[in-house]
Chain A
């Protein structure tokens, strides 16, 4: 009885979140972006998320010309779903609206190839892939062990080796991706204008100035200062209050 009640509550909660999502969409349709934002954020407050939700939130902020929250939400959506074309397009639009135009120094060579490959899936997805490969390996082993003809045995044996390779590749990809995820701490500049210092103190000279919506990567932090790196590989110290971390 109690379980049924919980189940009911759970379904009820989901349906509430779903209706809030639809309500947000309706507000968006009527160009009531502020109301749509309130509606979407109520879902986030209830502890639920999805890349689509962040995407829609980003759209609302874009329409309201609030660059920093728009980019923030698009980037958050991209973290969950890295291969969405709509997301990338709209993020491009939002980045055009931002004031800073910081070059992205492309990574080249072997490192890039590996990164491109591993980033095609989330690390949990890699883990599931590895698990399914492991079970497939077991099936192949059974096939090999119990099959009677030499040809079948050979096919299964070869398959086993390929699967072993696939398992190790997917596990290492997952671990690599997780390491990347944990090491990379992206953040978005929320202050309209903020000066980045060459040392973590107010009296230090300005290294450069950033505007809202710029993506930075946090390298280290001291007190209320964060050392950041831009996509063009320049570094500096910024006050923690000026940025909002994506993870």
Chain B
């Protein structure tokens, strides 16, 4: 019953203040883009199912809210009820915006607010609360610095870039983000990891600052000239003290964010000096030790050896190639296995790099691996240094011919086959020396003469034979020749005296006698005309010739004392020739 009463009272009261109000109020109608506006939906009766307008659709973003407040007050017996939903909005665009209707259900009836026109202008400067403003500016208290160890290094000389943030004691860093990573064009770079950021103390611009090393990088410039290191930019959230203090007198901190950049650095890289630059310089800069060592130098056929070419020390170890050994063609060399054991602290790379070559000899013999040269630029002295390894002699004890004794038939009795292994021949002990400058025989005059001589000799032989045949065949000629011969033999003296009568006839007579002596083997004392005739006739001589002969001998004696003309002498001579030759023929 009591309940019903209250209900009726309530109903009466509501009906009494039946004027239900539901309206939207904004703190301002015109605002800058960066300003906030507060909107309140208030009603004087309790309602349900409050549906706020779609703020997003009307160009606003809810920054805070909704927050609900209910107030009921009784003043002089009059109660007032107020319920409000409030939002803080921020415009997301410029221009004339309209906040739409909100709705609520009160006592079963739906009420709506009227739309509100808003005018959003450009961002305006928000006047700061002097108390809220930070006491110090972040700009003067935070610096990003890039420390470059050397501004004018040589090519391939290591330099370090250390990025440090300096910040003063009265600000705090809560967070930082890298906006752009530094780029090192034309540098070989290696980052050194920093595991934990540690704040340290240091002096900066004459003041004590705290600093944190953010990043360390080792750089090897790869070309000469002015090289630029692009800057590192950071977005840093800082806590800056304000002028307000809490009850203990400590300054209240306010959040701020700041963008810092290290600024680009220009590094002037010097090229390596050209003077005294060895030809085989491969770009190594630093301080190195160079070794070439074979695993063994005496080996049998089929064995292999390892040749270790290594460089150890400090410098740009990863940035140059090791010298390649050259080996005789009888040694087969395979591609190397490259090993690197290099650490990179801030001072630059150090460690050891090595190439391991596997070499398999193919033939017996002594082989020499030429000394290897390794040249580097010594930064300490600013000069090129060359290290030459020792030459390596490799002795291959046996040749491949022994290994190739393949047995085709296992049942075959292995015979001790003597293979002629070619061995290096020993010096020759004897020689025939000849002059170096020697005229060619082929094509020389002597050669042509000797070549044509036999052929030229052929006609001679032919002519000789022809003549002999002709002589043999010519009877008359032969006769003349014979008498001439005889005359020459016996009458040569007489012929000498042809013009002289007395000695001619003496010689002629002597010649006749000599002829007889030679032919008939008789002495001069036996020579009487009768005897001569007898002997001649007995030797089958022609009687006419004999008579002529006798007549001539008589004539000789006679003519010696008688006057005779030259023609007569000639006639007698000719007659003697005829007689002697005819007798010669008959007697033989």
Contacts and interface: CB of A to CB of B under 8 A. Distances in A.
Q: Do A and B come from one complex?
A: yes
Interface stretch (A108-116, A136-144, A233-241): A136-144
Given A100-B329, A134-B450, A25 B443 contact: no
B429 interface: yes
Contacts of A130: 451
B434 interface: yes
Contacts of B363: 96
Contacts of A62: 424
Given A49-B434, A128-B441, A89 B425 contact: yes
Nearest to B440: A124
Interface stretch (B156-164, B293-301, B365-373, B494-502): B365-373
Nearest to B442: A127
Interface stretch (A40-48, A198-206, A217-225): A40-48
A25 B429 contact: yes
Contacts of B430: 52
A47 B437 contact: yes
A53 interface: yes
Contacts of B328: 67, 96-99
A138 B458 contact: yes
B487 to A, nearest CB: 33
Given A99-B327, A134-B450, A141-B458, A48 B424 contact: no
A172 B427 CA distance: 36
Interface string A24-67: 01001000000000000001100111111101100100100101
A134 B455 contact: yes
B461 interface: yes
A138 B454 contact: yes
Given A101-B329, A123-B440, A145-B465, A28 B427 contact: yes
Contacts of A175: 442
B178 to A, nearest CB: 46
Interface residues of A, number: 56
B422 A124 contact: no
Given A90-B424, A97-B367, A123-B442, A53 B447 contact: no
A99 B368 CA distance: 10
Contacts of A89: 422-425
Contacts of A193: 326
A117 interface: no
Decide if the interface of chain B is mainly helix, strand, loop or mixed. Answer: loop
Contacts of A134: 450-451, 453-455
A50 B432 contact: yes
A138 B442 contact: no
Interface residues of B, number: 44
A192 B62 CA distance: 84
A92 B328 CA distance: 13
A56 B434 contact: no
Nearest to B437: A47
A65 B368 contact: yes
A131 to B, nearest CB: 4
Nearest to B330: A96
B457 A96 contact: no
Given A25-B427, A52-B430, A138-B458, A211 B326 contact: yes
A226 to B, nearest CB: 22
A126 B453 CA distance: 18
Contact of B461 (A55, A100, A145): A145
Contacts of A59: 424-427
Interface in B391-444: 391, 393, 422-437, 440-443
Given A97-B328, A127-B441, A131-B450, A44 B427 contact: no
Interface of B: 326-330, 363, 365-368, 370, 391, 393, 422-437, 440-443, 447, 450-451, 453-455, 457-458, 461-462, 465
Given A50-B431, A65-B368, A131-B447, 16 more contacts: A47-B436, A49-B433, A49-B436, A53-B431, A65-B391, A67-B328, A86-B428, A87-B425, A134-B451, A134-B454, A134-B455, A137-B454, A138-B458, A141-B458, A145-B462, A171-B451
The 8 nearest A-B residue pairs measured at CB: A101-B329, A138-B454, A86-B425, A52-B431, A96-B330, A127-B442, A52-B428, A48-B433
